[in-house]
Structures are given as structure tokens and as C-alpha cells.
Amino acid sequence: MALVIDACAAQHQGDRKEQQDRVLIVPHTNLRGVALAVVADGMGGHTGGALAADQMVHTARQNLTQFSPEEETPEKMLRSCLHEAHMLIKASRLMNEMNPHSTVVMMLIQPGRMSWLHCGDSRLYHFRDKALIGRTKDHSYVEQLLSRGRITPEQALVHPSRNVLLTSVGGNDEPLFDYAETTDLQSGDAYVLCSDGLWAYFSDEELGGIVASHTAREACEKLVEQARLRAGGHGDNLSIAIVKLKEKEVAAKPKPFPGFAGRPQQKVGSV
């Protein structure tokens, strides 16, 4: 079964003074069927977060152009993106007084394989039709409390320390990250990469339902619109990238011209 991709990315500044998120879906320049999706949520004061997110996206784009499956595994490629961006962001502190750092979630798309890596609380969701197959676990204080059973998912959404991260790209320490991949690709699969400015307003069930019932572009538009309404004038920057898989449509064979079925072929002049 041949699969094709329906993909779209979108973002909104929210109610912040500056857009410090960056989002990207870019194809490989030479390899057919290879692409990279990235969402980076920058932090670090005025322009600092934008600098960090810019560097993360720029590094990922550059590494994609050099990626060759024969010479490098997807995990090694994504790890390199993370660590190179981390070093460059830290080096930028020497040239300014800002404290730039960023979260990131990246997914490398290859024929028959999806591979992803994340650091911080930018997320990847994997849906099959409306059902949640899995999502990344945030590197955050609240996620830690949740995994230990000390708070409920409902309490996590409103916890006063929900924005406290345990790691980031460009932070003081080496970034923590998680890597995963799948080769079980099916029609109806959808991968949603997004910053916390978007996922904070949706349950897993609602997010999966919207993505399943719309094209990637329509789902992006609807989710951004709903997040903005629910923010009530206090919304963060938000970014989203959606990659959906669907079965390739086979062109139908042309039907015989009416009145000529079963007869020898004849030339028919233009009308």
C-alpha cells in the first residue's frame, strides 16, 4: 500500500509582544520522500528566545541537507541537530547579555519510517484515526509529579509550576532528550508537533478528533482558532506542524465511450 503525505504548519503570536516560536516543515534537497518537521519554543527574555529558536531551526535545516541514510542513522542526525544548536546557542551568550534557550521537537520523515526527538515541553502526538497511539513526555516538573502519581492530569493543566522545565537547548547543562521511531506506518496515521501554547488548550481526545476529521491545513486553522478563543486574551506564542498519512489514490481507468462498448475501436473526431 503506497502512502502519501498531507502536511501543514502554522503559528500565531498569541498575546505576546514577540513571536519566539519557530516552526518548519522542509523536504530534503536531494532525497525523495525525506523531510524534516521542527517546532522550537524559544525562551530567554526580549529577543533571546527568538534567537535560540532561530538557531535550532537553522541548525536542523542545515543538518537535513547533509543527511544520508547510508552514512547516518536518523537518531544520530537528530542528536547532532540538538547538540550543535545547544553549543551555538550557548556561544551566543558571549556576544550579548541575553539568556537564550529553547525547547524543541523534531521529526525526520523517511519512506517507511518516522523518527523523532524532543527536549523540553514541545510535544509530538501520534494518532491513528482518532485514537492516541502515544505522545512524548514533557521534561518538566509537573510531568515528573504526574508520572509519580502525585497529581492528576486535570491538576497538571492548572498547576502553578506547570511552566518549570527540567532541561532546554542552550541551558546551563547538557540537554536531556528522548528519541523514538516507528516503521509501522498506516493510512490514517497523524503526527502532531506543537508548542505548549497550543497543546495546553486541548485534551488528547479532542486534538485527535479534530486532526482526524480535517485535512492538515484545515486542522491547523481550526486548532489555532480554538486555542486563541480559549486563551481569552492571555495566550502564549503557539506553533503546530501536522503530518498525516493517507493511501495513495489510484487513477481510475477511463470508461468506454457510450455506444461503443463491445465494438471494434473507431476514431472519433473532435466535437
Phi first, then psi: what are they for 118, rounded to 5°? -140, 155
Cell triple for 160: 502553578
Q: Of 232, 192, 182, 238, nearest to 212 (Cα)?
A: 192
Per-residue pLDDT of the chain (271 residues; tens, 9 = 90+): 689 999 999 999 999 999 999 999 999 999 999 999 999 999 977 678 999 999 999 999 999 999 999 999 999 999 999 999 999 999 987 777 678 999 999 999 999 999 999 999 999 999 999 999 999 999 999 999 988 998 888 788 788 888 899 999 999 899 999 999 999 999 999 999 999 999 999 999 999 999 999 999 999 999 999 999 999 999 999 999 999 999 987 666 666 645 444 444 333 333 3
Phi-psi region of 11 (alpha: psi -120 to 50; beta: other; left: phi over 0): beta
Phi first, then psi: what are they for 122, rounded to 5°? -80, 135
Rounded-to-5 percentages of helix, strand, coil across the chain: 30, 30, 40
CA 245 to chain centre: 14
User: Residue holding cell 506564542?
Assistant: 237
